[in-house]
Amino acid sequence: MGPGCAGVLGWLLLVQAALRAAGSCCPCDAKDFGHGSLVCACSATYCDTLDPVVLPAPGTYIKYESSKAGKRLERSEGGFQHNAETPDFHLTLDTAQRYQKVKGFGGSVTDSAAINIQSLSKDAQNHLLRSYFSEEGIEYNLVRPMASTDFSVRLYTYADAEGDFELKHFNLTEEDTRMKIPILQAAQAVAKRPLSLYASPWTSPVWMKTNGAMTGRGTLKGSRDKYHQAWAKYFIRFLDEYAKHNLTFWAVTAGNEPTAGEIVFYPFQCLGFSPEHQRDFIARDLGPALANSSHRDVRLIILDDQRVMLPYWAEVVLKDPVAASYISGIGIHWYLDFLAPIDLTLSITHHLFPDYSSSHTEASAGSYFWRPRVVLGGWDRGTKYSHSILTNLNNYVTGWTDWNLALDMEGGPNWSKNYVDSPVIVDSSKDVFYKQPMFYHLGHFSKFIPEGSQRVGLSVSKKCRRCDLEHSAFLAPDGAIVLVVLNRSPTDVSFGISDPRVGFIAAMAPGDSIQTFLWKQPA
């Protein structure tokens, strides 16, 4: 080999080492839309990726960092110190304290998400799905689809034929067979981790409803009768039809936001239930229908609505032994969190009903009418996601699911013009999509805290009055320790991390940043 070749080889090795240190073979193609931080642009020919996570040698750690300043899951390495002076503010790991096990993290394949994904070229679609589900992406494992929502271009159910109590005319629609099912199958094909699908219906067919409309105030007709039996059968038929496409479900919820259907003139699809009505429907109809079907192992989740309803909703439903026997968990949304302190809702509910898991089943930024819908590069929206995830995880929640996987530049399509933001925004006119700060915030959890991880104790030496650090620690199934630290303040914060079995890390959280630390403990 001549000296010229050796020089080129040396340069290539240096580049490879630098990229490996950054945690990806393909860095972010950064675009600045003037909203305070960056998005990463992806196309048919290029998209940023991450290397598979490889735990470092004992006595060392790896750190992934994203920041308002522009870092996106940037990887670095460091070593534990011994006999170092511990700073006043430090976190101490205690793996003897064990809490809930994690189910996972993910998003929703709505009709709108599917439309946007399929508006891209095949290669760009592949990059988008790999970004979410593959080992070179953030490795989502939870996916939430079912029928039409406000994020559809039309209103429909699977059984719109009047009076079809036997559901002889039940059929999936083009939205399923040509859009959502192919996307779910493609996601499964690129995912290393198994995906857990769960379904949430927005409304029953209108002929089953008291108001004869998909929107507005209305519930199921009758009581313990053919309408309730037909609605329970509807769930089973949905699961049957998806199973024909080799798509099986981990769970169903009893219905999306049941309190919405109690609101006069509610503008989106809804089906009203009180907690008493949901309790009786599960005990008499839905629970037995699932138990007596081939889908008896599908979990049933109640509420799927705002946490302000807790613990009351859980007390009404779960104190009935028949209903409770069919239920495995409670689902919550984030839209009214400002009305409901988490310690007075989720924490109390967990201590009242410790055998039932809690899952965060929907969130979206830009949902309030006085806020901009889509903000390309909005760091604060990513921070809001991470704050919600950490707060929920620290109060016994087992999983966190975002709303639409992808939306267009307007935040749609949405038949009712209820536009919102998304971690991925598609510009089909350019065959590109933009990965928002929200995407990378979610990745700090979804990629590094796999299903089966267990939250462990993390004590704080003292309150940090001049900073805004939030944190949570986990023991992963492979024995790794995973620690997530969020700094919502604009000020850099020095702190320490102490693992009594390994040593001490002298750390610094830059202002407006999120970090994930990983290390091995001795066997």
Position 20 scores a pLDDT of 43
Summarised one tens digit per residue, pLDDT across range 220-230 is 999 889 999 99
- pLDDT of 10 > 70? The answer is no
Position 224 scores a pLDDT of 81
- pLDDT of 459 > 60? The answer is yes
State the virtual CA torsion across 172, 176, 178, 180 in degrees, nearest 10.
Answer: -170
Position 337 scores a pLDDT of 95
| CA 351 centroid distance within chain | 24
Position 25 scores a pLDDT of 72
Q: Binning pLDDT at 50, 70 and 90, where does residue 24 land?
A: low
Lowest mean pLDDT among 24-38, 100-114, 146-160: 24-38
Summarised one tens digit per residue, pLDDT across range 49-81 is 999 999 999 999 999 999 999 999 999 999 999
Position 463 scores a pLDDT of 67
In 195-326, where do the E strands start and end?
Answer: 196-199, 249-253, 299-306
* Annotated catalytic residue within 74, 175, 257, 451: 257
* Annotated catalytic residue within 362, 410, 451, 470: 362
- Are 508 and 494 within 8 A, CB to CB? yes
- pLDDT of 294 > 90? The answer is yes
Distance, in Å, from the CA atom of 498 to the CA atom of 496, rounded to the nearest integer, reads 6
Higher pLDDT: 475 or 461? It is 475
- pLDDT of 8 > 60? The answer is no
Of 113, 123, 120, the C-alpha closest to 431 is: 120
Position 83 scores a pLDDT of 77
Distance, in Å, from the CA atom of 511 to the CA atom of 150, rounded to the nearest integer, reads 37
Summarised one tens digit per residue, pLDDT across range 411-420 is 999 999 999 9
Lowest mean pLDDT among 3-7, 161-165, 338-342: 3-7
Is the overall model pTM greater than 0.85, yes or no? yes
Q: Binning pLDDT at 50, 70 and 90, where does residue 137 land?
A: very high
- pLDDT of 18 > 60? The answer is no
Tokens describing residue 117: 């994904």
Percent of the chain with pLDDT over 90: 90
- Token pair 């290669």 in the structure block, residue: 123
The residue type found at 384 is: K
Summarised one tens digit per residue, pLDDT across range 246-293 is 999 999 999 999 999 999 999 999 999 999 999 999 999 999 999 999
Q: How many CA atoms lie within 13 A of 470 on its CB side?
A: 18
Question: Catalytic residue at 257?
Answer: yes
- Are 421 and 411 within 8 A, CB to CB? yes
Question: Catalytic residue at 85?
Answer: no
Tokens describing residue 193: 């981790």
Task: Find the angle CA(66)-CA(97)-CA(319) to the nearest 5 degrees.
Answer: 100
Q: Which residues of 327-353 are buried (b: 16+ CB within 10 A; e: fewer)?
A: bbbbbbbbbebeebebeebbbbbbeeb
State the virtual CA torsion across 323, 326, 329, 332 in degrees, nearest 10.
Answer: -60
Strand (E) or helix (H) holding 470: strand 469-475
Position 468 scores a pLDDT of 76
- Are 116 and 407 within 8 A, CB to CB? yes
